[in-house]
Amino acid sequence: MSSNVKGSILKGKKGVILGVANKWSIAWGIAKALYREGAELILTYHIRVKDRVEALAEELGPDVKIVECDVTDDINTDKAFEEINKIFNGKLDFLVHSVAFANKDELNGRYVETTREGYLLAQDVSAYSLVAVSRRAEPLFVANGGGSIVCLTYIGGERVVENYNVMGVAKAALESSVKYLANDLGPKNIRINAISAGPIKTLAASAIGGISKLIDIIARLSPLRKNIEIEEVGDTALFLVSDMSRAITGENLHVDSGFHCLAIVSGGENGEE
């Protein structure tokens, strides 16, 4: 479908996206896909990037709203959901969590050198925040008769990825949270799933030592022999927040050109054995 043609898969659906930071972010790819299919959107922002998110919202569409939300601050997060509640008249169809952070110094070298402060920060922003926003979104979903939550993870939460370190441990906690939240929220017809996206050269990912090497490996050795684009993750999120995935919850869906299915990677030039 052409980007300037409005679809109808999410027509009348209202949702919040946390984590849009710039045009290279995965959350931006998701925002474009969901808005393209008719969703009414609120983008949240941290005060440090308000101007940037405001410009992106205006580019997306004149009806896209923005709301401040600092997921490390309970009072600020409460205020954010009070505002979301007012804008959407007490009902919510979906929420996308694309928030993660670790100190750059923790994303090089050995995991055993992780500091207590760095560990707690990564867990707070990258994992606990999913629990915090899910709890606040729950009554809005209930008033709507159900809904869908989607979060973003990476294979470094399942297996060791060089230099991913404390973020890998945070992603493991995030993925486990998805399962526990699925069990808690399922009786209220609220689904929650994770997308495990392959490495994409976002500004956030540039902090990870050796990210270019990881991207090259995917292009050469993954079953599809191609890198991942934010638009592909966006379309997967579209599926997961839509009614097409209404019987799927507690899942970790890999969008990585099939790389996760390989036990050992080997290959010569252009990734051919």
pLDDT at 217: 87
Q: Write down the H helix ranges in the chain.
A: 26-36, 50-60, 74-87, 116-123, 129-144, 165-185, 211-221, 230-241
Based on the residue annotation, tell me whether 119 is a catalytic residue of this protein.
Answer: no
Mean pLDDT over all residues of the chain?
A: 92
Q: Residues 35, 45, 119, 164: which is the catalytic one? A: 164
Percent pLDDT > 70 in the chain is 91
pLDDT at 4: 57
Q: What is the pLDDT of residues 222-269, one digit of tens each?
A: 999 999 999 999 999 999 999 999 999 999 999 999 999 998 765 544
Report the relative pairing of strands 94-97 and 65-68 from DSSP bridges: unpaired
3 state DSSP class of 65: strand
pLDDT at 15: 98
Query: What is the Cα–Cα distance from 252 to 196, expressed in whole angstroms?
Result: 6
Q: Calculate the alpha carbon distances from 211 to 71, 102, 195, 221 in Å.
A: 26, 15, 19, 15
Q: Is residue 44 within 8 Å of 99, Cβ to Cβ? A: no
Q: Is residue 94 within 8 Å of 241, Cβ to Cβ? A: yes
210-218 contact pairs (CB < 8 A, 24+): 210/162, 210/163, 214/161, 217/259, 217/265, 218/256, 218/257, 218/259
pLDDT at 270: 42
Q: What is the pLDDT of residues 193-222, one digit of tens each?
A: 999 999 986 655 555 556 778 888 889 999
Report the relative pairing of strands 94-97 and 14-18 from DSSP bridges: parallel
pLDDT at 120: 98
Based on the residue annotation, tell me whether 154 is a catalytic residue of this protein.
Answer: yes
Half-sphere exposure in the Cβ direction for 87 (13 Å, CA): 20
Q: Say if residue 93's pLDDT is above 90.
A: yes
State both tokens at 220.
């050469």
Token pair 């919040």 is found at 16
Q: Report the candidate in 146, 6, 112 with the shortest Cα–Cα distance to residue 63.
A: 6
Q: Residues 35, 45, 119, 154: which is the catalytic one? A: 154
Give me the DSSP letters along 112-135. Answer: GG--HHHHHHHHIIIIIHHHHHHH
Query: What is the Cα–Cα distance from 179 to 184, expressed in whole angstroms?
Result: 9
> CB neighbours (10 Å) of residue 126?
26
Give the residue-averaged pLDDT of 78-99.
98
Q: According to CATH, what is the number of the domain 14-200+228-260? A: 3.40.50.720
pTM of the model: 0.92
Q: Say if residue 2's pLDDT is above 50.
A: no
Query: What is the Cα–Cα distance from 26 to 94, expressed in whole angstroms?
Result: 17
pLDDT at 273: 35
Q: What is the pLDDT of residues 30-85, one digit of tens each?
A: 999 999 999 999 999 999 999 999 999 999 999 999 999 999 999 999 999 999 99
